[in-house]
Amino acid sequence: MMPLSFAEVGQSQIIKRIGGNLETKKHLEDLGFHIGGEISVINTIEGNLIVNVKECRVAVSRELANKIMI
C-alpha cells in the first residue's frame, strides 16, 4: 500500500484506505473517493494531482493525496 501521491500518471489504481479525521474522510467521499473505487492520476502540477475518479476529473492537494492509500 502507498499514498496516491506516489502513483504513476496514467495507471489505474484501487483505493484501499482513506485516512484522516472524520471531516477529511467525509470531504473525500463527497468528491467520489470510496474504498474499492478505481482511480487514476491524469497529471501532477507542482505536487498537486489531477485524478480521474468516477468518470470525473478532480484536483486534490498533495496533503489530501497522502491520505488516500492505493
Using the predicted structure, report yes or no on whether residue 3 has a pLDDT greater than 90. Answer: yes
Domain hosting 42: range is: 4-69
- CB count within 10 Å of CB 64 equals 22
- Summarised one tens digit per residue, pLDDT across range 12-64 is 999 999 999 999 999 999 999 999 999 999 999 998 999 999 889 999 999 99
User: At residue 51, what is the residue type?
Assistant: V
The tally of domains found in the chain comes to 1
Bridge partners for 60 per DSSP: 49
Instruction: State the CATH number of the domain containing residue 29.
Output: 2.30.30.90
pTM, entire model: 0.88
Rounded CA separation 4/15 (Å): 9
Beta strands in 1-70 (DSSP E): 12-14, 17-18, 38-45, 48-53, 56-60, 68-69
